[in-house]
Chain A
């Protein structure tokens, strides 16, 4: 995993501190060309991994990437699934059964309707595999070395104690896509305890990690202890706490945390992308040099 990963929230009107800013971003990126332009800027800045939700529009971005194989030969996508609002809104409108029928591909749905229900009841992990395949379709032909489960699902399963699905996801993406399963979570300590209890050692995990403890369930000090134990390949997200922390301060904190593998951030302007990338590089080097000095 690269040290710096590029996120997609800014493209789809997601802003954790301001709905108004989110709306402005949604307007700016209404055209796919605007998204591609920003991705190219990130690539020019030396970031080659794009971590994104399985939003319908990502499918269109994938088309562009496939059409330019040479230009994007080193480019990797880390898909994060599912795009939860798509399902949540469907459940309000269609109910849980209606939504399953809506999202499960055609022929399978027919089996489902014609008494395949018994089959579904027997093996819901298999049902999950079908949904993973449906979400992965848009990434055909693109390198996806890590496939992530969105925090709303990871944490839901965690709270429900339905760990079979977490284990099933981990196994399935390895078998079918030769990829590493990633788990996005807002509950890092609980997730690590749970995965380890099921025999998943050193998992790939993405969690909110920032200087003010925003979305770090249980508190910052509990997180810092767990991070220091280096029990996972860890991606730090929400490092700016939705803009509440100035960039230098935010990145210095997270780059100096031993146990953080990669840092995920999203930005729209060239200046912000370049600034964040170079700050991460310099703080990370500073940290590596320091630890080297201490160790010797």
Chain B
């Protein structure tokens, strides 16, 4: 059993808490949150030891791992403290507000040989994993364009103020939504290294942007576009989609399906000429506990496996999350 604690019991923290609580290889011992109301609820209705100070929690609990789901601006000091205390760290996305800090933490975790992971759960979705595999096998031939898109109905009115709506706190569509899209582009294709013609639009929010549009150039030279909008009520929930175009065809993938168009059949992959569609029902691996999506449990399973099987390399390490933070900075600078 891996003795674990959680810092931050907001939307993601509570969700992680349930997944960790039901996990057969995890002993969830302690939780920590700044809100008195949340702490009270956990004291009264759960069996975990509850803290308001994360440093005290780490110092006074016998822990091997910690899950950090606090507001982004606290990630650096919390992750740093946890690494100093020899803990394996799973941190929510985006990783940190300054890519220098992210790089520093990635280096530190590596040196200390501690498992380090950031919660980019799209990396654990069957459709996107299959897309990555198809691209690695070059089924589309030479690539010439990609489009990464995310849309959803988060901010639909001119109101509301949490840390997510304050500038420089890690809120806004860029940190909250676009970070997922950027990370996914990095995962399936390559890391973006250059941005041009960036548009950050405030639609309803005052302090932060509600939409992000930009042209990206990747490390491997491929160019494409980023289009993200969290004030789009035509979507019931967050919807992320990647389109990749190559000389041999096109692939469109989202969380539920992957549509492949090939100019010629690819017998090696069993793909016919023209359109073939595969659904998440065929591409999902079973999990032991389900909450909101297999990918949330799968990423925690992966974190656990990385701790127990020391040789395993992490699928969403600090290092790759630091690249996403770098791209966010580039987008802010280009605006």
- Residues of A bordering B, CB below 8 Å: 12-20, 22-23, 26, 85, 88-89, 91-98, 117, 120-121, 124, 152, 155-162, 164-165, 186-187, 190, 212-219, 241-244
Contact = CB atoms under 8 A, between A and B. Distances in A.
Interface in B210-266: 234, 236-237, 239, 241, 254-257
Interface in B16-30: 17-22
Contact of A159 (B40, B234, B291): B291
A189 to B, nearest CB: 10
Contacts of A96: 10-11, 35, 37-38
Contacts of B162: 93-95, 98
Per DSSP, are chain A's interface residues mostly helix, strand or loop, or mixed? helix
25 contacts: A15-B256, A17-B257, A19-B239, A23-B234, A26-B236, A89-B152, A93-B164, A96-B10, A96-B38, A98-B162, A121-B37, A124-B44, A156-B291, A157-B18, A159-B17, A159-B22, A161-B46, A161-B47, A162-B46, A165-B45, A187-B289, A190-B289, A217-B287, A217-B288, A243-B281
B111 interface: no
B37 A219 contact: no
A11 B93 CA distance: 33
A169 B44 CA distance: 17
Contacts of A244: 279, 281-282
Nearest to B254: A19
B279 A18 contact: yes
Q: Which 4 A-B pairs have the closest CB atoms?
A: A159-B18, A186-B290, A244-B281, A95-B162
Contact of A155 (B18, B152, B282): B18
Contacts of B237: 85, 88-89
Contact of B236 (A22, A152, A242): A22
B281 to A, nearest CB: 4
Interface stretch (B50-58, B139-147, B153-161): B153-161
B330 to A, nearest CB: 25
B114 to A, nearest CB: 25
A161 B292 CA distance: 17
A98 B176 CA distance: 18
Contacts of B165: 93
B311 interface: no
Contacts of A23: 234
Interface in B157-200: 160, 162-165, 176
A159 B41 contact: no
B80 to A, nearest CB: 25
B286 interface: yes
A215 B21 CA distance: 19
A156 B255 contact: no
B280 interface: yes
A93 B160 contact: yes
Contact of B290 (A85, A91, A117, A187): A187
B37 to A, nearest CB: 6
A234 B46 CA distance: 28
A19 B281 CA distance: 13
A160 B257 contact: no
Contact of B160 (A15, A94, A121, A219): A94
Contacts of A97: 35, 37
Contacts of B289: 155, 159, 187, 190, 217
Interface residues of B, number: 51
Per DSSP, are chain B's interface residues mostly helix, strand or loop, or mixed? mixed
Nearest to A156: B18
A156 B20 CA distance: 11
A39 to B, nearest CB: 21
A92 B38 CA distance: 16
Nearest to B279: A17
Given A16-B280, A18-B256, A91-B11, 6 more contacts: A26-B236, A155-B290, A156-B291, A159-B21, A187-B289, A217-B286
B99 interface: no
Given A94-B162, A162-B46, A164-B45, A217 B290 contact: yes
B15 interface: yes
B14 interface: yes
Interface string B312-324: 0000000000000
Contact of B14 (A14, A156, A213, A241): A156
A107 to B, nearest CB: 20
A59 to B, nearest CB: 17
Nearest to A120: B37
Most buried by B among A215, A216, A217: A217
Contacts of A91: 10-11
A98 B286 CA distance: 36
A266 to B, nearest CB: 15
A93 B18 CA distance: 22
B257 A152 contact: no
B281 A92 contact: no
Contact of A212 (B152, B164, B281): B281
A117 B39 CA distance: 13
A93 B158 CA distance: 11
A90 B163 CA distance: 13
Contacts of A89: 152-154, 237
Contacts of A88: 11, 237
Given A97-B35, A212-B281, A218 B288 contact: yes
Contact of A242 (B14, B21, B279): B279
Contacts of A213: 286
